[in-house]
């Protein structure tokens, strides 16, 4: 198949959407498909896998989100490209100006389209001082995704949420995790020593965008509470974002490791002892699966990946949304009982052992093939809520 993929974020950018889209593109290319990738031009190059042909279009910096860009509309370039080399199906991962122009162009050309719902931009609005736009953003997302044949979501809970927003095309495509890359065997005593963490000192890890919508205040409060029972505890932060400067200034004892990828990221996960993830704005949260695979018990709210992969008292603590006191107490309790922490860590690795990337790629491939084979008027009948 010739498969078009459109995304406004892609490596070398490091975020959940960029890495997920790259994984899908590379996985399909490895199966022998030709991938026609459309993304914004970036200052730093990226060497993609064989079978991925890239068209870079104009982009601009995302306001108040340093390091990320969005693509500008490219209707005429897309029409010319897809008329000359018509894809069998197109996957549009992001809902920005580039994504909208791709959706409109594909619809005009009669090419079947699947979209991805990766980011709750409607919930982000309140964190960036534009909460009055929440209703408008939801209306835009509803119109965007209802024009596709299928809107791919990682959890059944999110499919139900989208149905509540009026999106009628939601379809489940589960996420995978590389259990070879993320595994306890990559624990690195030298790395722990660089954090001044003794063998028995609990190391808490954060991985992700350091940004207001991640509910970072609760992460800090949880660590300060557990630090009272374990004064030698360390808090390591992997990632970057608009809240990093203030967080680093207000917490000089925190260890900021910056952006990490591949083996380096794997060592950071495996060398920690507890993963605290208080975000309430995730559509999924890939980092939860990565932490579990690396043997880290996770404390998170019962949404996104946690709702389907985190089992309270088995591989971490899954806290009811809004129960901040319970969230903090769970972090403290695990710190006070290191034997239980280690037991949950062992179970964590086992709990995600079956989430094969190959299985997800095959499922994605099948979905796109069926879209390509369906007649245009049948596309919406294939969607499920």
Query: Does 77 share its domain with 206?
Result: no
pLDDT exceeds cutoff 80 at 368: yes
State percent of the chain over pLDDT 70. 92
Query: Does 235 share its domain with 360?
Result: no
Question: Which residue, among 183, 159, 150, 85, has the nearest Cα to 363 in the 3D structure?
Answer: 150
- Find the CATH number of the domain harbouring 120: 3.40.50.2000
Query: Does 62 share its domain with 164?
Result: yes
pLDDT exceeds cutoff 60 at 298: yes
In tens, the pLDDT along 329-349 reads 999 999 999 999 999 999 999
97 touches 140 (CB < 8 A): no
Q: How many CA atoms lie within 13 A of 79 on its CB side?
A: 10
Question: Which residue, among 383, 385, 379, 337, has the nearest Cα to 89 in the 3D structure?
Answer: 379
Average pLDDT, the chain: 90
- Please tell me which residue, 303 or 318, carries the higher pLDDT value: 318
Query: Does 152 share its domain with 43?
Result: yes
Residues 319 and 156: their CA atoms lie apart, in Å, by 19
58 touches 71 (CB < 8 A): yes
Query: Does 219 share its domain with 293?
Result: yes
The pLDDT assigned to 293 comes to: 97
Query: Does 204 share its domain with 317?
Result: yes
User: 3-class DSSP state for residue 319?
Assistant: strand
Q: What is the mean pLDDT of residues 217-238?
A: 98
Query: Does 69 share its domain with 205?
Result: no
Asked whether the CA dihedral 57, 210, 355, 119 is positive or negative, the reply is: negative
SS3 content of the chain, % helix, strand, coil (to 5): 45, 20, 35
In the block, residue with structure tokens 């490895």: 30
The pLDDT assigned to 66 comes to: 57
Question: How sure is the predictor about 278, in pLDDT bands with cuts at 50, 70 and 90?
Answer: very high
Query: Does 45 share its domain with 166?
Result: yes
Query: Does 140 share its domain with 236?
Result: no
Question: How sure is the predictor about 67, in pLDDT bands with cuts at 50, 70 and 90?
Answer: low
Query: Does 205 share its domain with 333?
Result: yes
Q: What is the mean pLDDT of residues 273-285?
A: 90
In tens, the pLDDT along 96-149 reads 999 999 999 999 999 999 999 977 554 544 544 455 456 888 889 999 999 999
The pLDDT assigned to 179 comes to: 94
Q: What is the mean pLDDT of residues 253-257?
A: 98
Query: Does 361 share its domain with 299?
Result: no
Question: How sure is the predictor about 379, in pLDDT bands with cuts at 50, 70 and 90?
Answer: very low
In tens, the pLDDT along 174-187 reads 889 999 999 999 99
Query: Does 333 share its domain with 370?
Result: no
CA torsion angle for 83, 88, 89, 90 (degrees, to 10)?
Answer: -40
pLDDT exceeds cutoff 70 at 49: yes
Enclosing domain of residue 314? 184-351
Specify the number of domains making up the chain: 2
């Amino acid at each position: 198949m010739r498969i078009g993929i459109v995304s406004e974020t892609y490596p070398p950018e490091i975020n959940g959407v960029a890495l997920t889209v790259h994984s899908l593109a590379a996985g399909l290319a490895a199966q022998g498909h030709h991938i026609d990738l459309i993304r914004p031009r970036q200052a730093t190059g990226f060497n993609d896998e064989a079978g991925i042909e890239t068209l870079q279009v104009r982009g601009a910096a995302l306001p108040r989100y340093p390091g990320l860009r969005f693509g500008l509309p490219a209707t005429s370039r897309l029409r010319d490209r897809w008329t000359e080399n018509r894809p069998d199906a197109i996957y549009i991962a992001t809902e920005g100006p580039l994504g909208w122009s791709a959706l409109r162009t594909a619809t005009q050309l009669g090419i079947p389209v699947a979209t991805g719902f990766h980011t709750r931009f409607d919930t982000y609005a309140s964190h960036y001082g534009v909460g009055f736009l929440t209703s408008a953003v939801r209306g835009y997302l509803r119109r965007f995704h209802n024009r596709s044949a299928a809107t791919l979501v990682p959890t059944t809970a999110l499919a139900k949420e989208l149905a509540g927003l009026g999106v009628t095309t939601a379809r489940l495509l589960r996420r995978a995790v590389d259990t070879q890359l993320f595994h306890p065997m990559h624990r690195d005593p030298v790395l722990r020593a660089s954090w001044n963490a003794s063998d028995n000192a609990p190391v808490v890890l954060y991985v992700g965008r350091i940004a207001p919508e991640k509910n970072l205040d609760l992460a800090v409060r949880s660590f300060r509470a557990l630090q009272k029972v374990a004064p030698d505890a360390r808090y390591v932060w992997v990632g970057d974002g608009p809240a990093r400067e203030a967080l680093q200034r207000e917490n000089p004892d925190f260890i900021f490791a910056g952006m990490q990828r591949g083996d380096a990221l794997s060592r950071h996960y495996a060398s920690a002892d507890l993963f605290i993830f208080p975000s309430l704005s995730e559509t999924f949260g890939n980092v939860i699966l990565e932490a579990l695979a690396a043997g880290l018990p996770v404390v998170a709210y019962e949404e996104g990946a946690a709702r389907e992969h985190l089992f309270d008292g088995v591989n971490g603590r899954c806290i009811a949304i809004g129960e901040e006191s319970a969230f903090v107490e769970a972090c403290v309790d695990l710190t006070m009982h290191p034997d239980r922490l280690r037991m949950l860590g062992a179970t964590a690795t086992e709990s995600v052992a079956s989430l094969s990337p190959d299985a997800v790629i095959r499922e994605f491939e099948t979905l796109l093939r069926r879209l390509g084979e369906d007649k245009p008027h049948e596309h919406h009948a294939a969607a499920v809520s």
